[in-house]
Amino acid sequence: MPFINSITPIFYRLVKYINASGMAALLATVGVIGFSSASLASDAPAIAAAANIKFAVDEIATRFQQQTGLELRISYGSSGNFITQIQHGAPFEMMLSADEGYIDKLHQAGFTQDEGIVYAIGRLALAAPKASPLILDPELVGLRQLIDDGKLSRFAIANPDHAPYGVSAREVLKAKGLWDALQPMLILGENAGQATQFTISGSTQGGIVPLSLVLTPEFAKRGNYVIIPDVLFQPLNQRMALMPQASETAELFYQYMQSNEARQVLTQFGFNLPKPVVKQGD
């Protein structure tokens, strides 16, 4: 189905997974909440998206809207919390997860049309506020030194219980033998966006966060980062899927997320990409 040129507003909202005290700082630093529209069609599909892809999906959704005139309602939060909502009847028509496991759980329980598709491969960054004493390096030598010197008091990651990027951060810390030593100092974000906010707000001395959330001018003003080698954690294959009740608009956006244009945006925000899906007959 061809895309048409028409402009209508898109509404974005963030599920309420962050506490009130962190909201202002989050808006000012990470920008997890997008813009909203005063006029939103009631039939615009609700889409659940992992917090780590907020900036990339905002850009992709804007381009989709400009080319089709179709509206979307996108909620950002932790993948684990989203599947709980979907299992309890939340009317999402599509989910963009931060890993494969959550989509697989939904599919096995009959909550998706099929097994979905990997749309991006996530990466991690070690980040810190500009004033932090933490020396940033890919192998976390500076982090170990700060711990050994007794100068690290708080360190942020997303909650591993329901945030895939928290699971990966834990894998990195365990690989470097730092997990146990960091236990008294860990500050857990409800999702990757909140962990990033904690990392650069001054409430911690650093954190392990999605690379996609630090590649912004807002972050550059307040913090620094280094990319963590991919070999230190299991691949963050981010999978998306449509729900059985998905509308035509949701299906079109699902297809658009696989387009070259969308893939270019994902690359700009630091994601690695899976090989394009070759359709039968191509």
For 99-246, list the strands marked E by DSSP. 117-122, 124-129, 155-158, 186-189, 207-210, 223-227, 236-242
**Model pLDDT, residue 250:** 98
Of the listed ranges 12-26, 81-95, 155-169, the one predicted with least confidence = 12-26
pTM of this structure: 0.82
**Model pLDDT, residue 176:** 98
Q: Give the closest residue to 175 by CA, choosing from 229, 234, 233, 235.
A: 233
Q: Cβ(206)–Cβ(73) under 8 Å?
A: no
Mean predicted lDDT score pLDDT of the chain: 87
pLDDT at 27 over 50: no
Q: Cβ(206)–Cβ(226) under 8 Å?
A: no
For the stretch 174-222, pLDDT in tens is 999 999 999 999 999 999 999 999 999 989 999 999 999 999 999 999 9
**Domains plus CATH for the chain?**
11-121+238-268 (3.40.190.10), 122-232 (3.40.190.10)
**Model pLDDT, residue 255:** 98
Phi and psi dihedrals of 114, rounded to 5? Answer: -155, -165
State how far the Cα of 147 lies from the Cα of 145, in Å rounded to an integer: 5
For the stretch 90-116, pLDDT in tens is 999 999 999 999 999 999 999 999 999
Sheet strand arrangement including 11-14: 11-14, 73-77, 46-50, 94-96, 236-242, 117-122
- pLDDT over 70, % of the chain: 83
